[in-house]
Structure 1
Amino acid sequence: MTVSAWAPLRRSAFRALWLAQFASNIGTWAQTVGAQWLMGDLGGSALQVALVQTATTLPVFLLVVPSGALGDILDRRHVLISGQALMLAGAAGLMLLAGTDKATPSSLLGLLALMAIGQALSMPSFQAIQPELVSREEIPQAALLNGVNMNVGRAIGPALGGLLIALAGSEATFAFNTVSFLGVLIVLARWKRPSDHRPLGAEHITTAVRTGARYVASSPLFRRVLTRLLVFIVFGSGLWALLPAIARGPLQLDASGYGVLLGSVGTGAIGGAFVVPKLLQRMSKNRLVLFATWVYAAATSTAVLTASFPVVIVAMLLTGACWIATLSTFNATAQVMLPSWTRARALAYYQLILMGGQALGAVVWGAVADAYSLRTAMIVPAAAMAVAVLAATKWFPLLDRSLDISPATYWDAPPEIDDTYAGPVLVTVEWPVAKENEDEFIDAMQKVGRARRRTGATMWGLFRDTEKPETFLETFTVATWQEHLRQHIERGTVVDQQNQEAARALAKGDAHVRHLLFAEPKKPD
């Protein structure tokens, strides 16, 4: 049965947050125009005008990974409220300073940086709560709707910002943004989120960051999503950076014409939200991304190959639909394969690549446009994207089947010790394996090893006993006994359990487990 593109909006919590976030996205883009305009009114230099963009992006890039860790070790609703409160404080400060003519270039940049810190706090947790707001079957549609939300906000916000500046000055954009954050805060305050189940308490932030990095490094399926995202973003982000130059240059448009181009992208994104669920009923994720990427490449090239405004409008409609189709597919794929205990910190890397890739692409293709031409800067990445997506589809295919990532406790209880922070811990598992099953067992254990590393092991290995060739010794180390307890109690999933059972089925007897603590020498008297 096809799930409606709008099905997530039937759920009250998702609908309320989506509508509040829609207003917030519009306010954010309107404020961007207001901030740039205010910097010009304050007599800011060209460098200071450019630093507006730096102040709004650099803190996010630097803080999104530790913010993802916070989203996993603290209540995500509280993290979101803290992030939104920081952004509200920054917008309100800008409103007051601009309204009382006390703003300076330094205070403007400082308050924008404060808002960026709030955005960094919010982004991973906002992505991580989506599976808590909708059913598993509705996650792709939720990802589509969130993408539509962002793209339509991007189209409407700048136009609204220009109108507000004309009517009441730049402080009006800051006032609108302040009110939009109030809406999000009210929705979050009213949301009755179930409390997290953490039998061992919260992790330390530095441990959580390391564990998140280890999870990403040991999850080849998630790394495929990150790789596909990077390929698409680096080659596809030139459109967003160069669209104003295309509007002013080959198309000879004024500001209203540029607004129509942005609106066309947003309209295409809305259309994509209708079409993508139906396409996914007829083709795999990989074919959908391949098809959407090719159409996106052709459409972005069209924007510099013709001076016909109607043709470019059609091309922008297609780019909006294909952009939302590709990114929502990546986002939904990531969300359904990440267990709750690490979802925010892993999705932080998704956001890092999304933002970093756009920044890198804008710089690279902007430099190409300056050195050669706009046409070169659009056609070269489009052609490279069309070729790269073929290779990426072959070497890094997206997972089409569903994984059961629900929590599972499947290890035998470890011995009890007094000092739970003692370590490092060495765990050995002796596996007796019949000769005819050896090759299959070694292959099965690779999945087990990745699960050990994802859940906390710093090293893992599988060894054959030279004196008893039918005995294999699995070894892995964990930093502390506390971390090993988390492997037992908090971090296991059903798919990890299935992989271990597959390996156990190839053994010819029970596995023998030993736990060893590092023998630290006593200090001399």
Structure 2
Amino acid sequence: MPDDPHAQPVADVARAELAAEGVEPAAERNSPFVPLRQPIFRAVWLASLASNFGGLVQMVGASWMMTAIADSPDMVALVQASTTLPVMLFSLSAGALADNYDRRRIMLTAQGFMLVVSVLLAAAAWLNLMTPWLLLGFTFLIGCGTALNNPAWQSSVGDMVPRRDVPAAVTLNSVAFNIARSVGPAIGGAIVAAVGAVAAFVLNAFSYIALITVLARWQPPKVERVLPRETLLIAMGAGVRYVAMSPNIRSVILRAFAYGFGGIVALALLPLIARDLVQGGPLVFGILLGAFGAGAVVGAFLSARLRRMLSTESLVRATFGANALAAALIGMSTTLWLTLPALAVAGACWVMTLSTFNATVQLSAPRWVVGRALALYQMAAFGGMAGGSWVWGQAVLHFGPEQALLLAAFALLSGAALGFRYRLPPLEALNLDPLSRWREPKVAVDIEPRSGPVIVTIEWLIREEDVVEFLKAMAERRRIRRRDGARHWTLLRDLTDPELWIERYDTPTWVEYVRQAQRITQADAEITDRVRALHKGPNPPVVHRMIERETATLPRGLPPQQIRDA
């Protein structure tokens, strides 16, 4: 029976009305492909796909070359560790750079550096100069480029797509990597088997060109800076402080370390799994890695649906458990047909878990610190991967690959149990835009941005019956103040006027006071409004801003004019 000829125009009119109001139909809003509507995200995504493909082909070449030039199995596992260790070591400084400088330029610098290192790696292999430690050195340098690139790239996602689309964009980034992983390793294995590792290294060098070209042509909107940039050390400290005072991000970081430690086992030991457990060569190694990548692609597309069905914590516990089962099956299997689906399950769990962690961090941090928050998350995840790669390599050396995989399965189950103490928050987009209520006050004393310390007091008048609720609200206010840069926060009660409470804190300089005040977000407004609703005095309350000054001993007999001048 034909459709009603009037139905389609009515649907079009309804869709147009929703679009005019800024409302997308639910089916389109929930589509995992929504971020690809943004031209710059689409271009970077496609170029990253090519770059990921080259990187995975290079990884196959490096891993298999290590099995040929090294006698110890723990050296094979160190190929993976050498790539992930720099992310643990340098991500925080890279995140501070990403939050304070042009992210596009940082990405261009990182991609150019990795291109140069890849060319040198190919040349060394071509000239037969490669040794195990030289190979680890090259992979370490490529990992350094990745450490510089990742915080800038991850935090740029929020500049390319609307905030509500960040989880889908993070998942699509995982899809790009795992599409490359599903075919790249198999092709890499074929290249290594047919031509040799040098060809894999050359292909990787060429894979950077597309992404460098796209980034060079991208012109993101420039953000005008009102305040001077933080120095690197101060910016790093601010990032650590923000994360330390943010319970949601702390939980993600702990769980990410646990997952990276146990979940890396399949990737770290995959050359040994291919060679010793299923008795294969470089082509089989590539096929196994491709199975992991194919499972990851499937997991990426399932993740959006599963997030709607399960809470964030339930989803992550399930992936920990399923990955543990997959690791145990891989350890017990001696046939390719059991190892392949187990690796696919491990790949699906890998992408669902890490993309959930990544999106949770991005939605829990405002733009001014998102690069550093992501960097600390990646340090934890990659630190777990680097430590796990070494531990599982040592376990293979002492017990064999089967037992190492079973031990990793137990570690993953332990990571799932952490959820009873460190639960993950719901994956929702908080409004972390600046509150923009605060205005820099005019002062009667001449001060410079570096003048300080600055002491701030705020007078609250609270009825006796509201004291308990006031103290609860002020506990959260203390966390927010300290998270954003306030020092020595205290709450004082006047002994002669019990209704008078004084909130006191300080900052090192005037510019740091301004910076701290401007970091208050829309999501923080609830606490401010709660406290103000309990305040029975003038609105806004009385605020005193003072600068600390040292006393001086003046010579006796100094005329009054000279005392004033002094």
- Say if 2:533 is the partner of 1:505: yes
The equivalent of 2:341 in structure 1 is 314
The equivalent of 2:549 in structure 1 is 519
CA, structure 1 residues 113+327, in 2 after alignment: closer, same or farther (shift >3 Å)?
closer
The equivalent of 2:232 in structure 1 is 205
Contact 1:410 1:492 in 2 (8 A): no
Deviations 1:169-218 (A, max 9, x none): 54433332222211111111122211123211322222111111111111
CA, structure 1 residues 93+305, in 2 after alignment: closer, same or farther (shift >3 Å)?
closer
Alpha-carbon RMSD: 2.9
Q: C-alpha distance in 2, partners of 1:514/1:40? A: 68
Alignment of 1:133-172 (within 5 A): 133-165=160-192, 169-172=196-199
Q: C-alpha distance in 1, partners of 2:80/2:396? A: 20
Contact 1:410 1:488 in 2 (8 A): no
Cα displacement (A) at 1:482? 0.8
- Say if 2:40 is the partner of 1:13: yes
The equivalent of 2:3 in structure 1 is none
Q: C-alpha distance in 2, partners of 1:36/1:372? A: 21
Q: What amino acid is aligned across from residue 495 of structure 1 in structure 2?
A: A
Contact 1:6 1:141 in 2 (8 A): yes
- Say if 2:412 is the partner of 1:385: yes
The equivalent of 1:67 in structure 2 is 94
Instruction: Judge which range, 492-501 or 47-56, deviates more.
Output: 47-56
Contact 2:175 2:296 in 1 (8 A): yes
Q: 1:469 aligns with which of 483, 493, 498?
A: 498
The equivalent of 2:324 in structure 1 is 297
Q: C-alpha distance in 1, partners of 2:146/2:458? A: 45
Q: C-alpha distance in 1, partners of 2:273/2:86? A: 30
Contact 2:189 2:282 in 1 (8 A): no
CA, structure 1 residues 524+251, in 2 after alignment: closer, same or farther (shift >3 Å)?
farther
Q: 2:438 aligns with which of 388, 394, 411?
A: 411
CA, structure 1 residues 168+364, in 2 after alignment: closer, same or farther (shift >3 Å)?
closer
Report the secondary structure of 2:368's partner residue: helix
CA, structure 1 residues 372+524, in 2 after alignment: closer, same or farther (shift >3 Å)?
farther
Q: C-alpha distance in 2, partners of 1:252/1:111? A: 29
Report the secondary structure of 2:369's partner residue: helix
Q: C-alpha distance in 1, partners of 2:357/2:369? A: 18
Tell me which structure has the larger Cα radius of gyration. 2
Cα displacement (A) at 1:63? 1.8
Contact 2:261 2:384 in 1 (8 A): yes
Contact 1:80 1:125 in 2 (8 A): yes
Contact 1:409 1:488 in 2 (8 A): no
- Say if 2:477 is the partner of 1:448: yes
Contact 2:106 2:152 in 1 (8 A): yes
The equivalent of 1:127 in structure 2 is 154
Q: C-alpha distance in 2, partners of 1:379/1:170? A: 31
Contact 2:91 2:375 in 1 (8 A): yes
Report the secondary structure of 1:337's partner residue: coil
Cα displacement (A) at 1:475? 1.5
Contact 1:300 1:319 in 2 (8 A): yes
- Say if 2:258 is the partner of 1:228: no
Q: C-alpha distance in 2, partners of 1:140/1:392? A: 21
TM-score (norm 2): 0.84
Alignment of 1:330-341 (within 5 A): 330-341=357-368
Q: C-alpha distance in 2, partners of 1:203/1:181? A: 31
Cα displacement (A) at 1:488? 2.8
Deviations 1:296-316 (A, max 9, x none): 222221222343432332222
The equivalent of 1:77 in structure 2 is 104
Q: C-alpha distance in 1, partners of 2:484/2:386? A: 32
Q: What amino acid is aligned across from residue 149 of structure 1 in structure 2?
A: A
Report the secondary structure of 2:524's partner residue: helix
Instruction: Judge which range, 383-392 or 193-202, deviates more.
Output: 383-392
Q: 1:253 aligns with which of 280, 303, 319?
A: 280
Cα displacement (A) at 1:33? 4.1
Q: What amino acid is aligned across from residue 78 of structure 1 in structure 2?
A: R
CA, structure 1 residues 233+40, in 2 after alignment: closer, same or farther (shift >3 Å)?
closer
Contact 1:209 1:345 in 2 (8 A): yes
Alignment of 1:30-69 (within 5 A): 30-35=57-62, 56-69=83-96
Instruction: Judge which range, 331-340 or 114-123, deviates more.
Output: 114-123
Contact 1:29 1:157 in 2 (8 A): yes
Q: C-alpha distance in 1, partners of 2:221/2:552? A: 46
- Say if 2:374 is the partner of 1:347: yes
Specify every segment of 5 or more residues in structure 2 that has no aligned partner in the other structure, as ranges. Answer: 1-25, 556-566
Cα displacement (A) at 1:329? 0.9
Cα displacement (A) at 1:74? 0.5
Report the secondary structure of 2:253's partner residue: helix
Instruction: Judge which range, 171-180 or 125-134, deviates more.
Output: 171-180
The equivalent of 1:480 in structure 2 is 509
Instruction: Judge which range, 230-239 or 266-275, deviates more.
Output: 230-239
Cα displacement (A) at 1:412? 4.7
Cα displacement (A) at 1:129? 0.9
Q: C-alpha distance in 1, partners of 2:51/2:430? A: 34
Contact 2:450 2:509 in 1 (8 A): yes
Q: What amino acid is aligned across from residue 65 of structure 1 in structure 2?
A: L
The equivalent of 2:310 in structure 1 is 283
Q: 2:244 aligns with which of 197, 202, 217?
A: 217
Q: Number of residue pairs matched?
A: 523
Alignment of 1:357-372 (within 5 A): 357-372=384-399
CA, structure 1 residues 32+452, in 2 after alignment: closer, same or farther (shift >3 Å)?
same
Percent identity over paired residues? 37
Q: What amino acid is aligned across from residue 501 of structure 1 in structure 2?
A: D
Q: 1:179 aligns with which of 206, 214, 221?
A: 206
Q: C-alpha distance in 2, partners of 1:193/1:252? A: 51
Instruction: Judge which range, 99-108 or 244-253, deviates more.
Output: 99-108
Deviations 1:259-278 (A, max 9, x none): 22211111111111221111
- Say if 2:522 is the partner of 1:494: yes
Cα displacement (A) at 1:45? 8.9
Q: C-alpha distance in 1, partners of 2:149/2:223? A: 18
Contact 1:227 1:396 in 2 (8 A): no
CA, structure 1 residues 236+59, in 2 after alignment: closer, same or farther (shift >3 Å)?
closer
Cα displacement (A) at 1:483? 0.9
- Say if 2:222 is the partner of 1:192: no
CA, structure 1 residues 100+258, in 2 after alignment: closer, same or farther (shift >3 Å)?
closer
Cα displacement (A) at 1:523? 9.4
Contact 2:57 2:184 in 1 (8 A): yes
The equivalent of 2:6 in structure 1 is none
Q: C-alpha distance in 2, partners of 1:52/1:288? A: 31
Q: C-alpha distance in 1, partners of 2:76/2:259? A: 29
CA, structure 1 residues 189+470, in 2 after alignment: closer, same or farther (shift >3 Å)?
same
Report the secondary structure of 2:523's partner residue: helix
Report the secondary structure of 2:490's partner residue: strand
TM-score (norm 1): 0.90
Cα displacement (A) at 1:54? 6.5
Deviations 1:114-167 (A, max 9, x none): 443322211111110112222223222222222232334345444444444455
